[in-house]
């Protein structure tokens, strides 16, 4: 039996093949591993605060069914099987489902959750035609906070990317994101709920790269009584 690791980047989910067909059980399991947070994280769903530990994810079974192209009963049965085999624990409620991966550290390189950037040497990503989509060199992620590793930057970016909703020019946006300062990111996360509420029709929302490149989080949004219930899990 072969043992060891391969570097499976979360950006694999941006490849055209990832969502082109109904998921297999193996693909669904890998997807769960990719969706799990690698550090303590807090999400808000319908105004309810949910605290996640490393190796946990927060997705409704309905959202997973849509993501995997399964029906609800198939998702529930699959989670039950993983639970029976000691691979996960999960608790489902009316709002969402929290999934905890058993022995999460076993899926991390050398049993560690955080690896230095230099452990990944210039990862590149390709589409079905073999065209290079983007390359991240070590110094790309050394712009503002050298103590942050690649996973932390990606987790922050995914949080922005999923919430923004209008998914265009991902590679350019990710590259721009790595150059933002921490105060800029904090302001983005504090003002973006208002901007999203002010532009419910995505087609009228700025392209994400335009938003980041133009520092549009500094634009004043004059709307009142906006609810800032931001669901990061969808």
Is the residue at 92 inside a domain?
yes
**Among the three residues 89, 107, 125, which one is the final residue of a domain in this structure?**
107
Same domain, 32 and 121: no
Same domain, 98 and 72: yes
CA 155/CA 10 separation, integer angstroms: 10
CA 103/CA 108 separation, integer angstroms: 10
Contact present, 44 and 229 (Cβ < 8 Å) = yes
Instruction: Quickly count: other Cβ atoms within 10 Å of residue 178's Cβ.
Output: 19
CA 127/CA 148 separation, integer angstroms: 28
Is the residue at 1 inside a domain?
no
CA 78/CA 32 separation, integer angstroms: 12
Same domain, 44 and 102: yes
> Residue 96 corresponds to which tokens in the numbers above?
């969402």
- For the chain, how many structural domains are there in total? 2
Same domain, 76 and 133: no
- Taking the CA atoms of 209, 213, 217 and 222 in sequence, report the sign of the dihedral they define: negative
**CATH code at 73?**
1.10.10.10
Predicted confidence pLDDT, tens digits, the chain (234 residues): 566 777 788 888 888 899 999 999 999 999 999 999 988 998 888 788 889 999 999 998 989 999 999 999 999 999 999 999 999 999 877 778 999 999 998 888 654 444 443 333 344 444 444 444 444 443 444 344 444 556 676 888 888 999 898 989 888 998 888 888 888 888 898 888 888 888 888 888 999 999 999 889 887 444 433 444 444 444
Q: Which domain holds residue 66?
A: 10-107
pLDDT of the residue at 212: 92
Is the residue at 228 inside a domain?
no
CA 163/CA 155 separation, integer angstroms: 12
Same domain, 19 and 99: yes
**Among the three residues 107, 137, 159, which one is the final residue of a domain in this structure?**
107
Is the residue at 234 inside a domain?
no
CA 100/CA 37 separation, integer angstroms: 10
Is the residue at 3 inside a domain?
no
Same domain, 134 and 203: yes
Same domain, 43 and 119: no
Is the residue at 232 inside a domain?
no
pLDDT of the residue at 110: 55
CA 221/CA 108 separation, integer angstroms: 42
Same domain, 170 and 79: no
Is the residue at 66 inside a domain?
yes
Same domain, 207 and 149: yes
Same domain, 122 and 182: yes
Is the residue at 119 inside a domain?
yes
Same domain, 135 and 43: no
Question: Would you list the DSSP string of the chain?
Answer: ---------GGGGGSTTTTSSPPPHHHHHHHHHHHS-SS-EEEEETTEEEEE-TTEEE--HHHHHHHHT--HHHHHHHHHHHHHTTSEEEEE-SS-EEEEETTGGGGSGGG-S---GGGS---EEE-TT--EEEE--GGGG-SS-TT--HHHHHHHHHHHHHHH-----HHHHHHHHTTS-HHHHHHHHHHHHHHHHH--SGGGSPPHHHHHHTTGGGS-----S------TT-
pLDDT of the residue at 27: 96
Same domain, 53 and 34: yes
pLDDT of the residue at 126: 44
């Amino acid at each position: 039996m072969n043992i060891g690791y391969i570097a499976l980047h979360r950006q694999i989910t941006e490849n055209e093949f990832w969502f082109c067909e109904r998921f297999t059980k193996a693909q669904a399991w890998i997807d769960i591993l990719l969706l799990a947070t690698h550090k303590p994280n807090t999400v808000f769903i319908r105004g309810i605060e949910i605290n996640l530990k490393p190796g946990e994810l927060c997705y409704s079974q309905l959202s997973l069914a849509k993501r995997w192209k399964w029906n609800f009963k198939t998702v529930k049965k699959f989670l039950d099987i993983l639970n029976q085999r000691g691979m996960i624990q999960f608790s489902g409620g009316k709002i969402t489902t929290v999934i905890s991966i058993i022995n999460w550290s076993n899926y991390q390189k050398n049993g560690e959750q955080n690896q230095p950037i230099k452990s990944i040497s210039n990862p590149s990503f390709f589409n079905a035609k073999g065209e290079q989509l983007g390359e991240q060199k070590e110094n790309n992620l050394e712009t503002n906070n050298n103590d942050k590793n690649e996973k932390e930057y990606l987790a922050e970016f995914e949080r922005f990317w999923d919430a923004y909703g209008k998914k265009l020019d991902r590679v350019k946006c990710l590259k721009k994101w790595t150059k933002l300062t921490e105060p800029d990111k904090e302001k983005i996360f504090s003002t973006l709920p208002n901007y999203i509420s002010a532009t419910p029709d995505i087609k009228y929302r700025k392209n994400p790269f335009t938003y980041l490149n133009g520092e549009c989080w500094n634009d004043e949004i004059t709307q009142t009584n906006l609810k800032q219930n931001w669901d990061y899990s969808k």
